[in-house]
Amino acid sequence: MITRFCRRQVFTIEASNSFLDFFAYILIKYTSIMVKIILDKSKCVGCGACQAICPKYFELGQDGKSKLKKGKNNSDKEKLEIDEIDCAQEAVESCPAQCIHIEN
Ligand code: SF4
């Protein structure tokens, strides 16, 4: 199973054999685009759900609030460009403060 964020949609492709796996990989690889995770730290309540669900992109900082690993800090908003959404969509959905967003 391959899941990627592509053109504002999450595509999940399940392939039953290696040829279909390869075809799905090529299709996704050449149609995917960069997306941004945007974290509004001013709304973060420091529950740690994003870090638990998606440690690839999120961690709790010394201030008790979430931060993006290798993210660019712009006042209260951090941004990180990614080409694989992976677990970030689940982090968006699990954040109780709704302070994580994904944009093209
Ligand atoms: S899930 Fe949301 S509120 Fe909780 S730590 Fe992460 S960004 Fe902050």
Ligand 1 atom 2: residue of nearest CA: 95
pLDDT 10s digits, 33-86: 789 999 999 999 999 999 999 999 999 999 999 999 987 776 789 999 998 888
The reported pLDDT for the residue numbered 16 is 56
Which one is predicted more confidently, 87 or 16? 87
- Specify the domain boundaries for CATH 3.30.70.20 within the chain: 36-104
- For ligand 1, pick from 44, 54, 57, 87 the residue to mutate: most ligand atoms within 8 Å of CB: 44
Q: How far is the CA of 10 from the centre of ligand 1 (A)?
A: 22
Burial class (CB in 10 A: 0-12, 13-18, 19+), 82: middle
CA pair distance 26, 32, nearest whole angstrom = 10
pLDDT exceeds cutoff 60 at 6: no
Structure token digits, residue 65:
């609030």
Which one is predicted more confidently, 32 or 104? 104
- What CATH number was assigned to the domain covering residues 36-104? 3.30.70.20
The reported pLDDT for the residue numbered 25 is 62
